[in-house]
Structure 1
Amino acid sequence: MIISNMTMNEFTAGLEKTRTVLVPFGSTEEHGTHLPLDTDTLHASEVGRKLAEVRDIFIAPPIHYGVCRSTFNHPGTLSISTETLKVLTLDVVSALYRQGLRNFVLISGHAGGTHMATLTDAGEMLLQQYPDIKIAVLTEYMIAAKVGKELIETDGDSHAGEIETSRMLHSHPQLVKGTAEREFPDFPVGMLVRDKQKYWPGGVWGDPGKASAEKGAKLEKLVVQELNTFVDRMENWQE
């Protein structure tokens, strides 16, 4: 049940089937020279859409902005502050709660450490604010890396590399502009730097050359299966 496509009557009827909602978080962030800035959002939204095809679950409208610390200087990245992301998360979940939802899966296609820590912090606050909710914070990319590890050829593959490029070649091939060179960032250990692109010029973390649409299809299927199992456990979980 895609909330943005529903009428008010359809939403009300949906509450008779489930009180679980998946909220896709993404980013507007560089993904090399070959993938669109909306890659993270598209990943999270797509698995939500596919999950809604196999079970009763609400899928909230995606959030297209995230905290992008390492790519802050790269062309096209539109990063927001941790304060903004935290307040936005609190407000969105509170609005969904007022509408009757009680089980919340915050799934992020953007896996930045600061970004994920902010979502987790917001989730902890929400647990204290609403004693009758369940809330989970998941990284969509980390699920793909875990369940698809037998498919991935690149050690340490991450941002705009084999995994993400394969996913986009499958789900949105029209948005993939060729490929990019294998690359890993070279940030100085322990140092905070102003010119982050100096240490990560191409914006790729992995090897896009190893990507394929076939891998992407398999990865997407595995992620949806893993999410479906997770939601089953969440809905039946007692603290």
Structure 2
Amino acid sequence: MIIEEMTMPEFEAGLKSCATAYIPFGSVEEHGSHLPLSTDTIEAYEVGKRAARQIPLFVAPPIHYGSCRSTACHPGTISISTGTLKALLKDIVRSLHSHGLENFVVLTGHAGGSHRMALQDAGEELLLELSGINIAVVTEFDLAKDLGAHLIETRGDAHAGEIETSRIMHSHPHLVKGTAPEEYPRFPTGILVRDKRSFWPGGVWGNPAKASAEKGEKLESLVADRVVELVKALESRRW
């Protein structure tokens, strides 16, 4: 059930058979010279839609903005504060809960450290605030990397490389503008730098040349299957 495409009566009818929502978070962030700025959002949303074809599941409209520190100097990245990010998740869950939803899978396509921690913190606070809910907070890239380890040829692939290029080649091939050079940035240990782009000029972390649409389809399927498992786990008991 894709919420943004539903009417009010359709949403109301859906509540009779489903109390679980999938909330996809993404970003507007550089992904090299070859992938769209909304790569993270696309990946997270496509996984939710795929999972909803397997089980009853409300799929919320994606949140397109995230906290992007490492790429903040790269053109096109639009970052929000962690405080704003936390408030967004908490308000969305509160609103969905007011309609009767009880279980929430929060999946982020953006894997930035501060971004992930903000969502996890918000989830923990919601557990204390709303005693009847269950919530999972997971990172889409981590699932793809772990579940699809047998498919990935690039060691240390992390951003706009083999995994993400494969994903967009599968779901949105018209948005892939060729490829980009292999790149593995090295930031100074422990030092906070202002001009992060000077350490990461191309905005790629991995090898896009190893990507394929076939890998992307398999990775998307594996992550969607894991989301289905999470939904069933949340619905099976109170956590």
Assess same fold via TM > 0.5: yes
C-alpha deviation, 1:227, in angstroms: 1.3
Counterpart of 1:11 in structure 2 is 11
Counterpart of 1:224 in structure 2 is 224
Aligned CA RMSD, in angstroms, stands at 0.7
Counterpart of 1:139 in structure 2 is 139
Paired residue type of 2:62:
P
Question: Which structure 2 residue ranges, 5 or more long, are not aligned?
Answer: none
Paired residue type of 1:151:
L
SS at match of 2:86: helix
C-alpha deviation, 1:221, in angstroms: 1.1
Distance 2:212 2:231 in 1: 29
Is structure 2 residue 37 aligned with structure 1 residue 37?
yes
Distance 1:98 1:229 in 2: 25
Within 5 A, what are the aligned runs for 1:69-218? 69-218=69-218
Question: Which structure 1 residue ranges, 5 or more long, are not aligned?
Answer: none
Distance 1:96 1:17 in 2: 15
SS at match of 1:114: helix
Counterpart of 2:54 in structure 1 is 54
Paired residue type of 1:68:
C
Asked whether the 8 Å contact 2:105–2:230 carries over to 1, the reply is: no
Distance 1:229 1:118 in 2: 24
Identity %: 59
Paired residue type of 1:193:
V
Distance 2:42 2:88 in 1: 19
After superposition, the C-alpha distances for 1:87-144 in whole angstroms (9 at most, x for unaligned) are 1111111111111111011100001110000000100110011000001100011111
Distance 1:194 1:172 in 2: 33
SS at match of 2:48: helix
Distance 2:148 2:206 in 1: 15
Instruction: Provide the aligned length of Structure 1 versus Structure 2.
Output: 239
C-alpha deviation, 1:238, in angstroms: 3.4
Paired residue type of 1:167:
R
Counterpart of 1:28 in structure 2 is 28
After superposition, the C-alpha distances for 1:140-193 in whole angstroms (9 at most, x for unaligned) are 111110110000001110100000000000000000000001001111111000
SS at match of 1:107: strand
Distance 1:122 1:200 in 2: 30
Give the alignment's TM-score, normalised by structure 1: 0.99
Distance 1:226 1:46 in 2: 14
Q: Which runs of 4+ in 1 moved over 6 A?
A: none
SS at match of 2:107: strand
Asked whether the 8 Å contact 2:134–2:238 carries over to 1, the reply is: no
